[in-house]
Structure 1
């Protein structure tokens, strides 16, 4: 998806930080991937401050969010243990993966109904295939926010999107069901989201190192700092979209120093994201590159 990311004038001082320190309109490119749903966007940010190591000389800021407020593991060691468990089960045989998902999804839905949703069950395949455009996407982990520490979330706000919130996508026998569902909605009406920031007010209630703990809105309210608008468009077309996706990579460590990722999970993501992008580029024969404008994306 291609859109416009707008920072308004008049933000309060504690919210006017980094990319959001001054009003502006930026081109943005967005991608949705199912694994739980992951929402990635990059916005052009010329002249907005110092860069994170590895992205010096670049001009874009990447945001990556997941449709759930907390991460599935407290530490990198625990997350690695989860991945090894997945490698022994759901990643081995597609039939086993489908069967496990079919069993876990109603269990997870029941737990969520009584406020006991499980990140581990969702990782194992218990997340229901909901419509991605109706979801709220969370950073899950903490970041610098200029002089502060914060988490962020992207909320759907236009009616066409909020009407989709919680709506299931029927995927049986439809390998491209999610892609088709997103395309249908984008062509009809596009959408508008708000990027909202949660500032850490109390590090006991809003810890940095334990991303399994949700920052409650009552203690750390969300404040809107930007809007993301996507005009009606075709979100995916055969061949063309594949070429675009093969050339793009998203990395939380690609951006401004004012929005440096924090915590042990984010530190582990720095090298693994880079290694993943390099591997994709080698396999696809298409090196990753930063698109500084939408015109460069194709």
Structure 2
């Protein structure tokens, strides 16, 4: 069978995708309501509910970036103020196997944004996890996964991976990716690498991105407690700064580096475009933790030049927006992007 000729940077939605995304949204809403009846507040996120903390950072765009990479936030050298939220995907106990996340919110980003209700906001989100690929191929598989997760009631949804009567339809590749993601050793959120795992636009090109910790970030000894990752960050930032290099890779082959299958790792070289500097600070004062809890992150808090690409990201647009709206409403909080002034005023007051 002849493979369909793909084009660089182009999306190829599958049949039935809109209905599939709507089903994922409804399953997610129902699950959140069931997890948080009226007597349990605050309502936490469906994904990455436990944050180790949000830290104040600088996102410094490099000088001398190649011309082909100069788009959106990378168009000119400058420094953005950033809030960075480090988190677990599911586990409340840091000693449990889990995927770890790094969500970056840049402030002072001019230009209309993609979300209709937030066009004039001045933030740009960059979402990363500590694995280079994702374990779901497309919206059809995402629907199957959410159905299986709903039946599993919080347990590992083995029905998605193995219980099809036809072994040729087992999701063995997805299971292996998921197990690798869950079994990574993490001593501190400040010493591990993070990846976008899904693709994004960079102008008229497609990219993925990664954040690589500096070799100067010390690796702490691990004392296994339910909050050891937060404690590692506290001890680190009490005494010294932390930093990451931010790199991007271009899609150079639409077949070998597909937009619509984030299970496949791209093999083009990464190029450094920015430095993330996290100064010494305190970040666990109750007001800071509350601010962090009330933030919402989505890859669609974005300039058009950095539009999320692929079916998984298209699903995230609708589902993340619906869940953020529901969570904030149940917590009696208005859904609104914070300003740079809001963020810095709080952090400076508590330093």
TM-score normalized by the length of structure 1: 0.81
CA deviations on 1:71-119 (whole Å, 9 max, x unpaired) are 0111122233334434444715xxx99xx9xxxxxxxxxxxxxxx9932
1:52 pairs with 2:89 = no
Tell me if structure 1 keeps the 8 A contact 2:205–2:250: yes
Partner of 1:235: 283
CA deviations on 1:145-196 (whole Å, 9 max, x unpaired) are 0121100111112412xx43xx78443xx33222112211121212111110
Moved over 3 A (4+): 83-90, 125-130, 167-171, 294-297
Q: Distance in 1 between matches of 2:236 and 2:150?
A: 34
Tell me if structure 2 keeps the 8 A contact 1:3–1:29: yes
**Within 5 Å, which residues of 2 pair with 1:94-133?**
118-122=176-180, 126-133=183-190
1:134 pairs with 2:186 = no
Partner of 1:226: 274
Q: Distance in 1 between matches of 2:237 and 2:144?
A: 38
CA deviations on 1:226-247 (whole Å, 9 max, x unpaired) are 111010112323x223321232
Shift of 1:144: 0.6
Shift of 1:46: 3.5
Partner of 2:208: 151
Partner of 1:259: 306
Shift of 1:259: 0.3
Q: Distance in 1 between matches of 2:341 and 2:194?
A: 23
Gaps in structure 2 of 5+ consecutive residues: 1-54, 90-98, 159-173, 347-351
Shift of 1:130: 4.1
TM-score normalized by the length of structure 2: 0.70
Q: Distance in 1 between matches of 2:121 and 2:85?
A: 20
Shift of 1:143: 0.6
Going from structure 1 to structure 2, the CA distance change for 1:170 and 1:221 (only over 3 Å counts) comes to same
Q: Distance in 1 between matches of 2:140 and 2:183?
A: 22
- The alignment covers a number of residue pairs equal to 266
**Within 5 Å, which residues of 2 pair with 1:1-298?**
1-35=55-89, 36-47=99-110, 49-54=111-116, 55-89=118-152, 91=154, 118-122=176-180, 126-160=183-217, 163-164=218-219, 169-171=222-224, 174-216=225-267, 220-237=268-285, 239-296=286-343, 298=346
Does the residue aligned with 2:238 lie in a helix, a strand or coil?
Answer: helix
Does the residue aligned with 1:64 lie in a helix, a strand or coil?
Answer: strand
Partner of 2:164: none
Rg (Cα) greater in structure: 2
Partner of 2:22: none
Does the residue aligned with 2:255 lie in a helix, a strand or coil?
Answer: coil
Shift of 1:279: 2.0
Root-mean-square deviation (CA), in Å? 2.5
Q: Distance in 1 between matches of 2:131 and 2:252?
A: 21
Partner of 1:109: none
Q: Distance in 1 between matches of 2:189 and 2:147?
A: 27
Shift of 1:204: 1.2
